[in-house]
A and B are shown apart, each in its own frame.
Chain A
Amino acid sequence: MATPAVRMFRRLEGLFCVYKPSGVHWKLVRDSIETNLLKVLNATPSQPLPQEVRFLAQPSTETEAPKGLTLSATSVPVLSKHPLVSGPEFQNIQVGVGHRLDAFSSGVLVLGVGNGNKTLNDLYRTRVTRDYTLEGEFGTATDDFTHTGGVVERSTYEHITQDKLERVLAMLEGANQKALLMYSNVDMRSQEAYEMAVQGLLGPEGKSAPILTGLRCIHFQPPNFILEVQCLNETQKYLRKVVHEIGLELRSTAVCKGIRRTRDGLFTLQDALTRHHWTAADITQAIRQYHSSKKHRKRSQSPAKKPALKTSEDVTATQQNEANEEAAVGKIKKLVAETRS
């Protein structure tokens, strides 16, 4: 027997992503979302209290003298099921966090509710890449690689041109591509290794050192520059260290001014919910979108396909398809709702 609250909870089970602002610990985000969901879940109109038949003694009047007990059957509500007695239906719900984002960074943070946490575990185990945008500034080196840290050294940067930066990025990318091959567990002397290398499927399984599978500069205006990075098994501190090392390679110094995750697996910035939308209604809609896109993907993929590394281009293509589908579905639903009301 499912109460309206439980039914609403079933609709909430799944994965969705939020936009975590910088300066906030990821746990606060998770806690506030859990609080919002609990508020709405516990505010659903509770079912009417069940009644039970109890034999109660009649209240005696003063005129009659009590001669034995006269009991009458009365239907009384079951007080033990009253919400004021038993407490709210949901004390806490399982909200899990996917790949973490530290307090300095912002961007897509994947969360799972209820059964979605099992999918989160699977997400962890598959080899999913993540996209980041790193903002850097030349001229300073700090102790924690950010622009708010204590300054360790300052150096000139007038000699840096975009061409030199591209050369350094090419060198770093080459080293990372080689690391991808080195960390894969395939025997390099087999034909299978060659086939996988051609398709770009060679890579580490499970835990490994952080590897940048893609790196390019999208904006260069000394002293500021913005890099787009696609990586595996990384931490945000490692990415800040990469910015610092790029500064060192260019015979100068650099700090990271901001890290923003633009994609985590298949969840992009387009699907991320901002702070004003951390309500149960928006989350329910996001989870519905996720479920429908999962069904669409299962239908379009052949059953024997191995999960390949998802790149941002594949993702945007599928997301566009899904967005179009969702827009169509949404329109139809709106029309149906309007005709009903």
Chain B
Amino acid sequence: MGSGHCICSYATLSKASRPQEKSSAGPVFQYVGQNKKPTPKVFVWGFSFTGALGIPSFVVPDSGRKKPRKYQLTPYRLETAEQISSAACGYGFSLIASSTKDASKLWGMGLNKDSQLGFQRTQHSRHQSYDYVLEPSPVALPLVNPLQTRVLQVACGRAHSLVLTDREGVFSMGNNSYGQCGRRIVEDEVYSGSHIIHNIEGFAGRVVQVACGQDHSLFLTETGKVLACGWGADGQTGLGHHNISSSPVEVGGDLSGVEVQQISTYGDCSLAVSRDGQLFGWGNSEYRQLASVTEATQINSPRHLPLKGCGKVVQAACGGTQVAVLNDKGEVFVWGYGILGKGPNLSESSTPEVIPSTLFGRSQFNPSVAVTRIRCGLSHFAAVTDRGELFVWGKNVRGCLGIGKRDDQYFPWRVTVPGQVVDVACGVDHMVAMAKSLL
């Protein structure tokens, strides 16, 4: 360069090339510890005017300017005092239960005109009961040991509900005009404002599962026997006749000697899954639900349903006009009448049709996604996958699908639930989902 002028130029390091100071500058935040467990949450959606969603501000807004919210089209968080382990949706009401040993373990909300939520004392008079319960209110079960017994499962029908406990058997409440509560039918009984919560007797062993149809009840004991009571005009009790039964009687037919592991019903058709993966059905078959064995419109005694190509059945779900089963590989098969989930062209089928797993999220990146739980509402389906996603399809009765619109959904559609869905309960026009947070 030579002597004389020396041109110095100052160059500062640009932001991109400056080495990052990873030293002790600044605090380090800790948002979550190492032992954080996921938070349990409950979400509700659907038709709210019966109070079945348990959010009073939807029916009676807090401020005068707001309008009541008739349809909740997307999942809405329901704040509960305890972690809810079991939920059931009936026709316009819901029951949620926690498996705690505390005194209040069962809450009900929605329609209470037949005391299906027990006696809900009004504010003004202790002899009157609310007809509509807008908020989850505790149901006072007449337990012998209220601080020891846990509630295992709840089930709701059209106007009655069943509560299964671990040590004290089954309790029933609500309408008993057809004997669905398992107690003697009293003529002209007034069910509104009734205090009766009946502990059902007559079970040989411990009951492990209960299911409510529209006006009948099914019970499954630990030995694999199924008992039924209630209305039988469609043969849904499976007792071999079309009469009413007011106390649980063991179901025979093709189920004698078979160990059943799961029962399901919601309308007038009933299904049972045996431990070796066989499916048995009885009741209404007007919509071709049992057409694989009979052309008749009703069967009053359980018949074994030979399903071709379904493999080993692990779960069955029964709706009003449609039926779904889940096999051990996580595939879902549907048949019956209505929106079955394979597009608008398939509106009825008497043989099982498989729903392609690509609709449940299976892809080349995730080739092993499988469905772990299926449920049926009156005219829709719900499926929970092993990744915690909830898929719904069927008729969108008053927004019960929770997909943000009121159109019917002809193939499985994801519901955006903030969290991983553990279980879901389907009703006629609303749904309750139990989820846990991701972390």
Contact = CB atoms under 8 A, between A and B. Distances in A.
B409 A188 contact: yes
Contacts of B407: 188-189
Contacts of B343: 190-191, 193-195
Interface residues of A, number: 45
A44 interface: no
Contacts of B439: 164, 167, 249-251
Contacts of A181: 413
B309 interface: no
Contacts of B438: 164, 167-168, 171, 249
Contacts of A215: 365
Chain B interface helix/strand/loop/mixed: loop
B366 A155 contact: no
A174 B389 contact: yes
B395 to A, nearest CB: 12
A154 B389 contact: no
A149 B19 CA distance: 10
Contact of A155 (B29, B356, B387, B414): B29
A174 B414 contact: yes
A189 B364 CA distance: 26
B361 A177 contact: yes
Nearest to A153: B29
A209 interface: no
A214 B363 contact: yes
**How large, as a class, is the contact surface on chain B?**
35 or more
B417 to A, nearest CB: 10
Contacts of A197: 358-359, 411
Contact of A194 (B21, B361, B410, B416): B410
B388 A251 contact: no
B414 A194 contact: no
A268 to B, nearest CB: 16
B411 A154 contact: no
B204 to A, nearest CB: 43
B365 A148 contact: no
A155 B15 contact: no
Contact of A200 (B20, B363, B410, B413): B363
A148 B411 contact: no
Interface stretch (B32-40, B53-61, B224-232, B285-293): B32-40
A164 B437 CA distance: 11
B10 interface: no
Interface in B393-409: 407-409
A200 B358 CA distance: 7
Contacts of A311: 364
A148 B26 CA distance: 17
Given A153-B29, A154-B26, A154-B28, A175 B416 contact: yes
B391 to A, nearest CB: 10
Contacts of A64: none
Contacts of B31: 155-156, 251-252
B345 interface: yes
B306 interface: no
Nearest to A248: B31
B212 to A, nearest CB: 32
Contacts of B161: none
B15 A150 contact: yes
B333 to A, nearest CB: 15
Contacts of B420: 167, 171
Contacts of B409: 188
A216 B363 CA distance: 12
Interface string A133-166: 0000000100000011111011110110000100
B388, B411, B413: residue with the most chain A Cβ atoms closer than 10 Å? B411
A154 B16 contact: no
Contacts of A60: none
Contacts of A150: 15
A193 B30 contact: no
Given A155-B29, A155-B30, A198 B414 contact: no
B202 interface: no
A146 to B, nearest CB: 9
Nearest to A150: B15
Contacts of A214: 363-365
Nearest to A174: B389
A199 interface: yes
A167 B34 contact: no
Contacts of B25: 151
B344 A191 contact: yes
B414 A170 contact: no
Interface string A214-251: 11100000000000001000000000000000000111
Contacts of B408: 189
A198 B15 CA distance: 49
Interface in A171-204: 171, 173-175, 177-178, 181, 188-191, 193-195, 197-200
A62 interface: no
Given A216-B366, A251-B439, 14 more contacts: A149-B15, A150-B15, A154-B29, A155-B28, A155-B31, A156-B28, A170-B388, A175-B416, A189-B410, A193-B343, A194-B343, A197-B359, A198-B411, A216-B365
19 contacts: A148-B16, A153-B29, A155-B28, A155-B31, A167-B439, A171-B388, A171-B420, A173-B361, A173-B366, A178-B414, A178-B416, A188-B407, A188-B410, A190-B344, A191-B345, A194-B342, A198-B356, A199-B358, A251-B439
- Would you list the 9 A-B pairs with minimal beta carbon distance, nearest first? A194-B343, A214-B365, A251-B32, A191-B343, A251-B31, A155-B29, A170-B387, A156-B30, A159-B34
Interface of B: 15-16, 20-22, 25-34, 36, 342-345, 356, 358-359, 361, 363-366, 387-389, 407-411, 413-414, 416, 420, 438-439
Interface of A: 140, 147-151, 153-156, 158-159, 164, 167-168, 170-171, 173-175, 177-178, 181, 188-191, 193-195, 197-200, 214-216, 230, 249-252, 311-313
